[in-house]
Amino acid sequence: MNYEIKGDPFPVVVCNLGAGESAKCQAGAMAWMSPNMEMKTQTGGLGKMFGKALTGESIFENVYTAAGGEGMIAFATGVPGKILAINLSGGKEIIAQKRSFLASAVTVEMQTAVQKKIGAGLLGGEGFIMQKFSGEGDLFLEIDGSVIEYNLGPNQVIIVDTGSLACMEGTVQMDVQSVKGLGNKLVGGESFFNTKLTGPGKVWLQTMPVSQLANAIRPFIPTGR
């Protein structure tokens, strides 16, 4: 597979597949394709169906295969933002926010990732249940807003606002940190808790979580009488 990411702020990833090669995506992600792409809808079994339900994904995924020659297919995001492309190899694991999966090679595996520290899941904003990706091949994730990448060294720490973590390598540890000072919590305009990320490993941060986008446009949405 080779690919190109196009468009802003509603990007698509255009994938060119060899004869017989396949790619999979979340339900509804396909935007356009060549006529020789054949689709098959699957669930991956009861266990994967349950895991997808917990992470907010559709329980179904669509697999597209280039039949009889090379094929092309484009996958589009559902909200303004970016598409993050990550190549998985050598045992690399990616932990990502819920509902971030867009598409991937069929050799990429998605599982449910449960936060080891209950506080990180309940208070950190990213949720107790996240997504874990492993295997081999290209992975495409939906990012809310723009994406900023940091490569943390061993024991290097970055403090992240609630919801701003898009994904991280499996070697990064996640915890929560309380905002200091009662006045800061009550009138500071920030969350009571922040997410604490400790290296080593890469982290990808997003500048406009969809929850913040919804709050920003809510005052401009007419209400019915």
Please provide the size of the chain in residues. Answer: 225
Q: What is the value of pTM for the model shown? A: 0.83
Residue 115 has pLDDT above 90, yes or no: no
- pLDDT reading at 51 higher than 60: no
Quote the percentage of the chain above a pLDDT of 90. 58
pLDDT digits (tens, 9 = 90+) for 124-178: 445 568 899 999 999 999 999 999 999 999 999 999 987 899 999 999 999 888 7
Query: Hey, what domains does the chain have and what are their CATH numbers?
Result: 2-216 (3.60.160.10)
Distance separating alpha carbons of residues 61 and 111, to the nearest angstrom? 14
Lowest mean pLDDT among 21-25, 57-61, 164-168, 188-192: 188-192
3-state secondary structure of 20: coil
Work out the average pLDDT over 175-202.
71
Distances (CA, A) of 199 to 4, 153, 175, 179, 214: 30, 5, 12, 21, 31
pLDDT at 46 over 70: no
Average pLDDT over residues 23-51: 82
Question: Which of 143, 135, 166 minimizes the C-alpha distance to 44?
Answer: 135
